[in-house]
Amino acid sequence: MSIRPADALERGATPWLFAAALATTLPHFEHQPSWLSALTAVLFAWGAWLWWRDERLPGRWPLALLVAIACGGVLFEFRTLFGRDAGVAMLVVFMAMKLLELRSRRDATVVVMLGYFLLLTHYFYSQSIPTGLWLLAAMTLVTATLVRLHGGAASTPLATLRYAGLLMLQAVPFMIVLFLLFPRVSGPLWGLPQDAHSGRTGLSDQMAPGNIANLALSGEIAFRARFAEPPPARDKLYWRGPVLEMFDGKTWRQQVSRPRPPQIEALSPPIAYETTLEPHQQRWLLALDAPGSLPMDLALENTLTATARLPINQRQRFSLTAILDYRFNPDEEQSVLKRNLVLPPAVNPRARALAESWRGEESSPERLVQKALTLFSGSGFSYTLQPPLLGENPVDDFLFVTQRGFCEHYSSAFVALMRAAGVPARVVTGYQGGETNPVDGFVVVRQSDAHAWAEVWLAGRGWVRVDPTAAVSPTRVESGIAAAMPAGEPLPALIQVRSNWLRTLQFRWEAINNAWNQYVLGYNPQRQREFLSRLGLSDPDWRNMAAVLGIVCGLMLLAVTGWALYRRPHLDPAARLWQNALRRLARRQVNCAPWETPLALVRRLEDERPDLVPAVMEVAAAYLQARYGDQPDQLTTLRAAVARLP
Amino acid sequence: MGLIAELKRRLFRWQSDGSAPLRLTQRRIFVLPTRAGFLFFVALVAMLTGAINYNLALGHALVFLLAGLGLVGMVHAFRNLHGLIIAPGRSQPVFAGDQALFPLQFSSDRATPRLALQVQAGADQPAVTTAVAAQGLADISVPVTTSRRGWLELPRTRLFTTYPLGLFVAWSYLQPAMRCLVYPRPLASPLPPLQSAPRAGDQLGADGQEDFSGFRTRQPADSPRHVAWKASARDGGQRPLLVKLFAGGAQHELQLDWSLTPDTMTEDTRIEIIAGWVMAAEEEGACYGLRLPGREIPPSSGDAHRHRCLEALALYPG
């Protein structure tokens, strides 16, 4: 393969291409399989070495072999060549390979285009502010590479980078306008590959001792809510997740139930709020108890859990209302009540015996509930994130032996006791509490706020919430987990920060992140419609939007073109100094006509102002030397001469 | 056909720019995407599809920033040419078959450099690249391959640049009034016999050797072959160059006559043979004259004389 000399890649451009390739592939090393990163690194090093030694690039066959090896590896690792992760892996390998065949300028262009494409793939993994900033820098570098490629070696690396920065800066207004006005389509356009979303934490659809305690160790944000009015008190904030009705003695599970709409009797006015859920790969929302009206695309299960039609695999916003004081299903179906009395036989016999003994003493279910809560609030029980391990009869072990547990232990034991005593009861999981960020007023709920409580059905009152954890540790409900835990518990650093300025800093950072999530990442077709109608474009369809977009972009292009056409009047630095000198002379009543040359001025002064002649002569000579002489840089002499003028 | 020609003339101002310096204005600069530009556009569409499919807000932003970059790159390619001042120079004569070089001087009064300016005189000619520094000058020679003798006008020349991003090419057509004299290709053949043209009173030296008679100062028309280097080098080279004078001897003159060439040949071949004689005679330092139908150049020697002869041959029968 021979390359025309005009198209051949010049040697000095290669380091730029390596830098661009490295900047665009390096962040992928974090989540790629290590063999792939190693292969990429070896290819990079090989290419760099060949360049350094100025040796021949490998021929077609070694490269074909390498491609085959890499494809085989990707196929083995991901079981496919397509899809998100495999596709990214292939792109990274191609980028590294392309560095081994940098012969012509066209090869270099391919590297740059591949680099731009790779920039996009980073957003599969993170769209945070730091990622955005890093990619902006990487994009400047890739653009500088392109500039260097076409500009040749004539300009310095710094000038090239600065020029690329200028181009990017001029492109930013276009980006903003396109971002706001380009008609948005809500994706996906086709079925996403299996691996499109993976590895998120959150509540699960079952509860065994230790599940929620593990979740509580994470300071990650589960969702944020913004209330139209000041948020309700913290101990009212019960965010309902899945309701667990099936118990096998150890683990609580969801019961698949017929979709019969729940009946809610509102005893207080509804309060409106908007919640932004982080993706958790489940269909349930975490609505504040009890959910009032729901948007069209959401449904309310019989257990009062609000669910979406599809799993929530990306950050989503919902407008909801909540009724804090309510009566829920006072006339519940018998089948439901019956299944909420079921306990596995032959497990936890001591707890069962205790509850049955209570049943003999008390008749009203309210009194039974009170009895159990009194048991917990009494001596012996403590609230901890590090409960001892439990044996085959976990409820018995907890109630009578260890007596140390987290919310799941208390709710599980409480519900088991209630069922044994003949009161229909079930476990509700979700989040409790939340913290108001003073910077933006959002209530932030973290994984560490995960909670489990109980619900008992009382005749005439329906399902009533009972939180046995509150009996053990009232602080948990009133002030959150950080305050409730004794010192030394392994809580995440973020939520136990107690020093003031750190807390403020954290609030600030989270508020910025939230704004980013809400207004940048959450800018969807609906937000766009809202934004456009606020601009006065009521009922915007894609045609008006395209028209507005075209007009605004055209105007901006015109502005940039105007900038390009504008020619700054340029004055030679020597001439500028001479003008300075003339201004100083004018103060001494010496005026130089525009047509008068410096030497003519001196000659005239010899008659009119002989006292000024030596100084002016010095300036004139220095000016002529600086402006027309063959010695470079005589400006300092001129500047000094001008300064010496009287 | 006439319509298209008219349109082209209007659009591309297909007319001579004269010989004065010209400044490129927006009216004569055109911009179109390059192949890389189309590739970039396809990549953007693919990226936008990906961003929509995976609902990546920052993916949208990236695609839009790149789109903005492309648009800005277009303006910058245009700006790289806009306001450039082009002054035509004088070209040196060349022999047919060699490359004629048309010198142009680019100058820029902008505070930023203009890089990667390429000039190409026709699609089959090589492109040459230059850069103009900030407020600088750059000399460039536009190569044009020659095939026939005579005057060669600089064909319509394309000045183009893909700087800075290579996604768009901005170009302008230049047609400064420049021409280059193309000498006929010299065809090597034995010189015709010497013809002595003795003048009255002259004596012919024994072997045609002439007697050295003295020096005179060199004039530009004298061949370097006749310079008396040794004599000139005396006194530390302070003197002007001297030329040996030969006295007496009949000037041995070569008459390069059209009629000496075989008339079976074509006119061009005969011209080329005579051009070959001119070169050979000059090489030998001989004194030669040219006789063409309707044109006669008296015998002499030196570069200026050679140029006169070759010019007459180049333009024959013009």
- Of A87-101, B205-219, B269-283, the range with the lowest mean pLDDT is B205-219
Q: Which residues of B touch A191 (CB under 8 A)?
A: none
Q: Which residues of B touch A6 (CB under 8 A)?
A: 126-127, 129
A178 reaches B (C-beta below 8 A): yes
Q: How large is the average pLDDT for residues A162-190?
A: 87
Please answer yes or no on whether A116 and B26 come within 8 Å at the CB atom: no
Q: How large is the average pLDDT for residues B191-213?
A: 53
Please answer yes or no on whether A561 and B162 come within 8 Å at the CB atom: no
Q: What is the CB neighbour count within 10 angstroms for residue B96?
A: 21
Please answer yes or no on whether A152 and B54 come within 8 Å at the CB atom: no
A573 reaches B (C-beta below 8 A): no
> Taking a C-beta distance cutoff of 8 angstroms, is the pair A457, A425 a contact?
yes
At A213-226, the pLDDT tens digits run 777 777 778 888 98
Please answer yes or no on whether A117 and B55 come within 8 Å at the CB atom: no
CA dist., res. A414 & res. A420, Å (int)? 10
Q: What is the CB neighbour count within 10 angstroms for residue A48?
A: 15
A558 reaches B (C-beta below 8 A): no
Please answer yes or no on whether B55 and A123 come within 8 Å at the CB atom: no
Q: Which among B55, B57, B115 has CB closest to A154?
A: B115
At B254-275, the pLDDT tens digits run 888 888 888 888 888 999 999 9
Q: Which residues of B touch A557 (CB under 8 A)?
A: 71, 75
- Gap from B84 CA to chain A (nearest CA, Å): 11
A259 — pLDDT class (breaks 50, 70, 90): low
At A290-313, the pLDDT tens digits run 888 788 888 888 888 888 888 887
- Predicted confidence (pLDDT) at residue B195 exceeds the cutoff of 80: no
Q: Report the residue of chain B nearest A553, measured CA to CA.
A: B68
Please answer yes or no on whether B65 and A175 come within 8 Å at the CB atom: yes
Q: How large is the average pLDDT for residues A341-361?
A: 85
- Predicted confidence (pLDDT) at residue A16 exceeds the cutoff of 70: yes
Please answer yes or no on whether A120 and B56 come within 8 Å at the CB atom: yes
CA dist., res. A285 & res. A283, Å (int)? 7
As a dihedral over the C-alpha atoms of residue A29, residue A32, residue A35, residue A39, rounded to 10 degrees, the angle is: -50
Please answer yes or no on whether A553 and B40 come within 8 Å at the CB atom: no
Q: Which residues of B touch A174 (CB under 8 A)?
A: 64-65, 67-68, 71-72
Q: How large is the average pLDDT for residues A446-466?
A: 88
A116 reaches B (C-beta below 8 A): yes
List B residues 21-60 in contact with A (Cβ-Cβ < 8 A).
26, 36, 39-40, 43, 46-47, 49-60
Looking only at Cα atoms, what is the longest distance across chain B? Answer: 107
Q: Which among A150, A196, A521 has CB closest to B57?
A: A521
- Predicted confidence (pLDDT) at residue A498 exceeds the cutoff of 70: no
3-state class (DSSP) for residue A260:
coil
A165 reaches B (C-beta below 8 A): no
Q: How large is the average pLDDT for residues A82-110?
A: 88
A553 reaches B (C-beta below 8 A): yes
- Predicted confidence (pLDDT) at residue B208 exceeds the cutoff of 60: no
- Gap from B230 CA to chain A (nearest CA, Å): 36
Identity of the highest mean pLDDT range in A116-130, A383-397, A413-427, B66-80: B66-80
B204 — pLDDT class (breaks 50, 70, 90): very low
Interface test with A, best of B55, B79, B84, B167 (most A CBs within 10 A): B55
Please answer yes or no on whether B55 and A186 come within 8 Å at the CB atom: yes
Give residue A307's pLDDT. Answer: 86
- Of A425-434, A627-636, B63-72, B160-169, the range with the lowest mean pLDDT is A627-636
> Of A450, A449, A466, which Cα lies nearest the Cα of A375?
A466
Please answer yes or no on whether A120 and B163 come within 8 Å at the CB atom: no
Give me the total of CB pairs closer than 8 Å, taking one residue from chain A and one from chain B. 165
ipTM score over 0.85, yes or no: no
Please answer yes or no on whether B67 and A178 come within 8 Å at the CB atom: yes
- Gap from B52 CA to chain A (nearest CA, Å): 5
pLDDT over 70 percentage in chain B? 86
A499 — pLDDT class (breaks 50, 70, 90): low
Give residue A9's pLDDT. Answer: 83
Q: What's the angle, vertex CA A154, arms to CA A150 and CA A156, rounded to 5?
A: 100
In the sheet that B157-161 helps form, which strands lie side by side, from edge to edge? B30-33, B168-174, B157-161, B114-120, B127-132
- Predicted confidence (pLDDT) at residue B53 exceeds the cutoff of 90: no
As a dihedral over the C-alpha atoms of residue A103, residue A106, residue A110, residue A115, rounded to 10 degrees, the angle is: 80
- Predicted confidence (pLDDT) at residue A545 exceeds the cutoff of 50: yes
B200 — pLDDT class (breaks 50, 70, 90): very low
Give residue B245's pLDDT. Answer: 64
> Taking a C-beta distance cutoff of 8 angstroms, is the pair B98, B122 a contact?
no
Q: How large is the average pLDDT for residues B226-241?
A: 72
A129 reaches B (C-beta below 8 A): no
At A592-603, the pLDDT tens digits run 888 888 999 999
Please answer yes or no on whether B62 and A182 come within 8 Å at the CB atom: no
- Predicted confidence (pLDDT) at residue B318 exceeds the cutoff of 70: no
- Predicted confidence (pLDDT) at residue A20 exceeds the cutoff of 90: yes
> Taking a C-beta distance cutoff of 8 angstroms, is the pair A408, A501 a contact?
no
A26 reaches B (C-beta below 8 A): no
- Of A21-30, A604-613, B194-203, the range with the lowest mean pLDDT is B194-203
Cβ-proximal residues to B103 (8 Å cutoff; 6+ apart), any chain: B88, B89, B90, B91, B139, B140, B141, B142
Q: Which residues of B touch A163 (CB under 8 A)?
A: 164
Q: How large is the average pLDDT for residues A74-78?
A: 86
Whole-number average pLDDT of chain A: 84
B152 — pLDDT class (breaks 50, 70, 90): very high
Whole-prediction pTM value? 0.74
At A39-51, the pLDDT tens digits run 999 999 999 999 9
- Of A171-180, A404-413, B42-51, the range with the lowest mean pLDDT is A404-413
Interface test with A, best of B115, B125, B129 (most A CBs within 10 A): B115
Q: How large is the average pLDDT for residues B163-175?
A: 91
Give residue A298's pLDDT. Answer: 84
Q: Which among A117, A192, A561 has CB closest to B43?
A: A117
- Predicted confidence (pLDDT) at residue A263 exceeds the cutoff of 50: yes
Q: Report the residue of chain A nearest B48, measured CA to CA.
A: A120
- Predicted confidence (pLDDT) at residue A194 exceeds the cutoff of 60: no
At A215-254, the pLDDT tens digits run 777 777 888 898 888 888 888 889 998 888 888 878 888 8
A124 reaches B (C-beta below 8 A): yes
Q: How large is the average pLDDT for residues B64-87?
A: 93
A522 reaches B (C-beta below 8 A): yes
Q: Which residues of B touch A561 (CB under 8 A)?
A: 75, 78
Distances (CA, A) of A382 to A102, A385, A415, A450, A598: 68, 10, 18, 18, 98
Structure tokens given for A607? 């008659």
B304 reaches A (C-beta below 8 A): no
Q: Report the residue of chain A nearest B42, measured CA to CA.
A: A113
pLDDT over 90 percentage in chain A? 17
Residue of higher predicted confidence among A149 and A503: A149
Question: Is it true that the peptide bond before A290 is cis, omega within 30 degrees of 0?
Answer: yes
Please answer yes or no on whether A179 and B64 come within 8 Å at the CB atom: yes
CA dist., res. B226 & res. B305, Å (int)? 14
A132 reaches B (C-beta below 8 A): yes
Instruction: Give me the active site residues of A, please.
Output: 407, 451, 467
CA dist., res. B230 & res. B236, Å (int)? 11
Burial A100-129 (b: 16+ CB within 10 A, else e): bbbebbebbbbbbbbbbbbbbbbbbbbbeb
Q: Which residues of B touch A178 (CB under 8 A)?
A: 64, 67-68
Identity of the highest mean pLDDT range in A289-298, A537-546, B207-216, B294-303: B294-303
Structure tokens given for A208? 């065994």
> Of A572, A584, A582, A578, which Cα lies nearest the Cα of A638?
A578
Q: Which residues of A touch B59 (CB under 8 A)?
A: 120, 123
B76 reaches A (C-beta below 8 A): yes
Give residue B201's pLDDT. Answer: 43
- Gap from B90 CA to chain A (nearest CA, Å): 26
Residue of higher predicted confidence among A4 and A635: A635
List B residues 223-242 in contact with A (Cβ-Cβ < 8 A).
none
Give residue A258's pLDDT. Answer: 67
B206 — pLDDT class (breaks 50, 70, 90): very low
